[in-house]
């Protein structure tokens, strides 16, 4: 009796939902889903259902969208059109627009976003970022304590972007300091068109066990953003910078440098894992045997409610380090993080 009542209640709820407001997704396998289209940013459509919460559906599996209310489509030329029905076939999309008798057919790749975020339309900004922490405490025959943290916060508008990034590492072995370093980066990007931007940055670094009291890098650069979405990001920058190095024991140094920066991240296996790689490089233009390279490479596994775990390899290289310092410093980290 209870089971019959539950089935009746579920059937009634779905029928009420369907009669009041429902978008419909038709998949390649013939399945039909009722709910609400939220957005498409990259390869997946976010679709809210009354029975399974919000689903992420690979766009390649969708044949047709039948919409209860029109949605906004942002095309790759940043123009906006309204649509109340979308139909995919091969690499084409047929769009029915409200009040229009004639449909419009375009390439699927021309549709950049469905229901784009307000900042993409020039309204306000998007704030995003993350914070990670790595802790290790070992006591017994060997006493080791390790504390590492890093974070980023970014503010994105249509024409510009402001980013702050920081890192801190404090390691002890048998109550003796074995590592103490930090990094802080601030940068501003101004987009001259959809893909290309100009910018300036300030980078500050301290590494006590590499004899580095403070390295300051002030630079200007030009960048190109090949991809920008939740699924895939790829930026490349080149520029010039003035570098000042203040060493604890060795002689201080300063030089004009050519710089490069690469940022890449991409989700795989239906957002099960995100691979990423970042690097910063500086080449002394007066002494080309002198160059500095930093990189962060890892795999991030999202959990729930914005939390994640990740494994990362950090590599620092200085071709002409201070006296008694190593050229290469490699760190392996397991991190717990939160993304917003």
The model's pLDDT over 133-173, given as tens digits with 9 standing for 90+, comes to 997 665 555 566 788 999 999 999 999 999 999 999 998 87
Q: What percent of the chain has pLDDT over 70?
A: 91
Nearest alpha-carbon partner for 166 in 147, 184, 148 = 184
In a domain, 244, yes or no: yes
Q: What percent of the chain has pLDDT over 90?
A: 70
Looking at the fold, whether 189 and 314 belong to one and the same domain comes out as yes
Q: Are the CB atoms for 149 and 143 separated by under 8 Å?
A: no
Looking at the fold, whether 59 and 185 belong to one and the same domain comes out as no
In a domain, 19, yes or no: yes
pLDDT at residue 142, as a whole number: 53
- pTM of the full structure: 0.81
Q: CB within 8 A of 192, min separation 6: which ones? A: 198
Domain boundary among 55, 81, 116: 116
Q: Are the CB atoms for 310 and 303 separated by under 8 Å?
A: no
Is residue 310's pLDDT more than 90? yes
pLDDT band at 7 (very low <50, low <70, confident <90, very high): very low
In a domain, 121, yes or no: no
Angle 261-167-224 from CA coordinates, rounded to 5°: 20
Looking at the fold, whether 70 and 142 belong to one and the same domain comes out as no
pLDDT band at 78 (very low <50, low <70, confident <90, very high): confident
Q: Give 323 or 247, the one with higher predicted confidence.
A: 247
Average pLDDT estimate for 257-286? 95
Q: Are the CB atoms for 40 and 76 separated by under 8 Å?
A: no
Looking at the fold, whether 132 and 197 belong to one and the same domain comes out as yes
Is residue 222's pLDDT more than 50? yes
Q: What is the mean pLDDT of the chain?
A: 89
Pairwise CA distance, residues 213 & 252, whole Å: 10
Looking at the fold, whether 173 and 134 belong to one and the same domain comes out as yes
pLDDT at residue 51, as a whole number: 83
Looking at the fold, whether 328 and 180 belong to one and the same domain comes out as yes
Q: Are the CB atoms for 286 and 256 separated by under 8 Å?
A: yes
Domain boundary among 96, 116, 136: 116
Q: Give 15 or 21, the one with higher predicted confidence.
A: 21
Is residue 325's pLDDT more than 80? no
Is residue 3's pLDDT more than 70? no
> For the chain, how many residues are written?
340
Per-residue pLDDT tens over the stretch 50-65: 888 899 899 999 999 9
Q: Are the CB atoms for 149 and 131 separated by under 8 Å?
A: yes
pLDDT at residue 327, as a whole number: 87
Q: CB within 8 A of 202, min separation 6: which ones? A: 185, 186, 187, 216, 217, 218, 219
pLDDT band at 229 (very low <50, low <70, confident <90, very high): confident
pLDDT at residue 320, as a whole number: 85
In a domain, 266, yes or no: yes
Domain boundary among 88, 116, 144: 116
In a domain, 194, yes or no: yes
Is residue 76's pLDDT more than 90? no
Average pLDDT estimate for 233-250? 96
pLDDT at residue 100, as a whole number: 87
Q: Give 172 or 33, the one with higher predicted confidence.
A: 33
In a domain, 22, yes or no: yes
Looking at the fold, whether 100 and 142 belong to one and the same domain comes out as no
Q: Are the CB atoms for 6 and 18 separated by under 8 Å?
A: no
Looking at the fold, whether 40 and 93 belong to one and the same domain comes out as yes
Looking at the fold, whether 135 and 112 belong to one and the same domain comes out as no
pLDDT at residue 4, as a whole number: 46
Average pLDDT estimate for 255-273? 95
pLDDT at residue 9, as a whole number: 47
Please tell me the total count of domains within the chain. Answer: 2
The answer to which of 12-16, 25-29, 101-105, 108-112 has the lowest mean pLDDT is 12-16
Q: Are the CB atoms for 255 and 320 separated by under 8 Å?
A: no
Looking at the fold, whether 94 and 132 belong to one and the same domain comes out as no
CATH at 327 = 2.40.160.40
Is residue 106's pLDDT more than 60? yes
pLDDT at residue 6, as a whole number: 47
Looking at the fold, whether 234 and 269 belong to one and the same domain comes out as yes
- CA distances (Å), 235 to each of 248, 264, 265, 308, in order? 35, 7, 10, 23
Q: Is 71 helix (H, G, I), strand (E, B) or coil?
A: strand
Range of the domain at 303: 126-339
Helix (H) or strand (E) holding 20: helix 2-20
Looking at the fold, whether 201 and 304 belong to one and the same domain comes out as yes
Average pLDDT estimate for 28-36? 93
Average pLDDT estimate for 238-242? 98
Average pLDDT estimate for 219-229? 95
């Amino acid at each position: 009796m209870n089971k019959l009542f539950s089935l009746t209640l579920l059937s009634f709820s779905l029928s009420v939902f369907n009669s009041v407001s429902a978008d419909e997704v038709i998949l390649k396998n013939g399945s039909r889903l009722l709910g609400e289209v939220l957005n498409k940013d990259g390869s997946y459509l976010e679709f809210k259902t009354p029975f399974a919460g919000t689903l992420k559906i690979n766009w390649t599996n969708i044949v047709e969208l039948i919409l209860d209310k029109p949605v906004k489509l942002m095309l790759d030329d940043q123009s906006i059109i309204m649509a109340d029905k979308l139909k995919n076939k091969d690499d084409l999309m047929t769009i029915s627009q409200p009040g229009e008798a004639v449909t419009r057919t375009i390439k699927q790749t021309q549709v950049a976003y469905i229901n784009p975020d307000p900042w993409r339309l020039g309204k306000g900004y998007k704030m995003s970022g993350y914070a990670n922490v790595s802790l290790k405490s070992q006591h017994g025959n060997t006493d080791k304590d390790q504390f590492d943290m890093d974070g980023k916060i970014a503010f994105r508008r249509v024409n510009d972007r402001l980013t702050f990034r920081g890192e801190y590492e404090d390691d002890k072995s048998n109550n003796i300091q074995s590592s103490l370093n930090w990094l802080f980066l601030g940068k501003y990007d101004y987009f001259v068109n959809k893909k290309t931007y100009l910018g300036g940055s300030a980078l500050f670094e301290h590494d006590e066990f590499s004899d580095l009291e403070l390295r300051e890098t002030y630079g200007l650069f030009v960048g190109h953003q090949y991809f920008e979405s939740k699924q895939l990001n790829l930026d490349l920058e080149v520029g010039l910078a003035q570098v000042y190095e203040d060493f604890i024991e060795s002689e201080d140094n300063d030089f004009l440098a050519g710089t490069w920066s690469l940022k890449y991240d991409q989700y795989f296996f239906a957002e099960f894992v995100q691979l990423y790689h970042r690097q910063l490089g500086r080449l002394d233009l007066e002494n080309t045997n002198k160059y500095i390279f930093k990189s962060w490479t890892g795999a991030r596994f999202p959990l729930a409610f914005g939390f994640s775990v990740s494994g990362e390899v950090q590599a620092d290289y200085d071709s002409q380090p201070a006296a008694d310092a190593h050229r290469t410093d490699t760190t392996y980290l397991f991190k717990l993080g939160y993304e917003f």
